Amino acid sequence: MSTKLSPSERNSIAQKLPDWSLSENTDAISKRYSFKTFPEAFAFMTHIALHAEAMDHHPDWSNCYNKVDIKLTTHDAGGLTQKDMTLAQICDDAAEQYAR
Amino acid sequence: MSTKLSPSERNSIAQKLPDWSLSENTDAISKRYSFKTFPEAFAFMTHIALHAEAMDHHPDWSNCYNKVDIKLTTHDAGGLTQKDMTLAQICDDAAEQYAR
């Protein structure tokens, strides 16, 4: 079972992950990534999928052509944990590789 | 530009794609696939992604762990076309491979 973020860890989200939004209704963070075409978007998703499976922490995500919307939360903790912060950073780092 | 399905072609959807639902608000069909785990779900998505890119016809889809929700419509035709029927059949055929 993961531990939910502490108040100070939550306050650091805006600084550490400035382009992510806190969801209104659930304790989650979300972000939209835009790529040039579908192959770049899906290559990005494949990269994230491999990390997600290795972490046993999976995103809720959707894709429409060159757009990928990602929402992260830790279901078994009932909210945001360090796993979400880690996966969010992996997403941001990967997006730079697949953008062109 | 693709041509929208004729009335008789639309009427055949229920017979040809019995597990797909016509969307209420847009001229689209949708279906949820369930797999055992994330790797099966993402393997299915990868299979579909390759066909979608080859067809230049891409799904609107989302994934949450072992679930994949797929919505098909042809944006440049403003509704359902034969491309959606073809891609729906590809999805159904692929799902059988990745289910276990």
Q: Is residue A52 less than 8 Å (CB to CB) from chain B?
A: yes
Considering only CB atoms, A62 lies closest to which of B42, B46, B61, namely B61
Q: Is residue A98 less than 8 Å (CB to CB) from chain B?
A: no
Report the share of chain A in percent with pLDDT over 70.
Answer: 99
Among A3, A80, A66, A10, smallest CA distance to A37 is for: A66
B60 neighbourhood in chain A, CB within 8 Å: 62-64
ipTM of the complex as predicted: 0.94
Among B13, B22, B15, B28, smallest CA distance to B74 is for: B28
Element (H, E) at A92: helix A82-98
Look at residue B23 in the predicted model and tell me its pLDDT. 86
Reported pTM = 0.95
**Higher per-residue confidence, A100 vs A95:** A95
Which of A36, A47, A62, A71 should be substituted to probe chain B, the one whose Cβ sees the most B Cβ atoms within 10 Å? A62
Average pLDDT over residues B82-87: 97
List alpha helices for B2-98, DSSP H: 7-11, 13-16, 38-55, 82-98
Between the CA of residue A15 and those of A2, A8, A12, A74, A79, what are the distances in Å?
22, 12, 5, 20, 19
Look at residue B24 in the predicted model and tell me its pLDDT. 78
pLDDT of A21-62, one tens digit each? 998 788 999 999 999 999 999 999 999 999 999 999 999 999
